[in-house]
Amino acid sequence: MTALDLMEFRIRFGQAEIVNFKDWWAKHREKAKGGRFTVQEDGITIAYDGLWLRYEVSTRCPISEERTDVRIFERSYISTEDRSYSLAIRHPTRTVNVSFSIEGLSNWSVKPPVASATLYQRDQRAVQIESLHERSCSAIVPGWSLLGIALVVEWAPG
Cβ within 8 Å of residue 99, ≥6 positions away:
136, 137, 138
Please report the pLDDT score of residue 11 as a whole number: 93
pLDDT at 123: 62
pLDDT for the residue 117: 64
What is the C-alpha separation between 139 and 153, in angstroms, rounded? 10
Return d(Cα 101, Cα 153) in angstroms, integer: 10
- The per-residue pLDDT for range 21-49, each reduced to its tens digit, is 999 999 999 999 878 999 999 999 999 99
Q: Which residue stretches of the chain have pLDDT < 70?
A: 117-125, 132
Predicted local confidence at residue 61, as pLDDT: 87
Whole-structure pTM value: 0.77
Instruction: Name 122's Cβ contacts closer than 8 Å, sequence gap at least 6.
Output: none
Domain map (residue ranges) of the chain:
1-77, 78-158
Query: CA 103: distance to chain centroid?
Result: 16
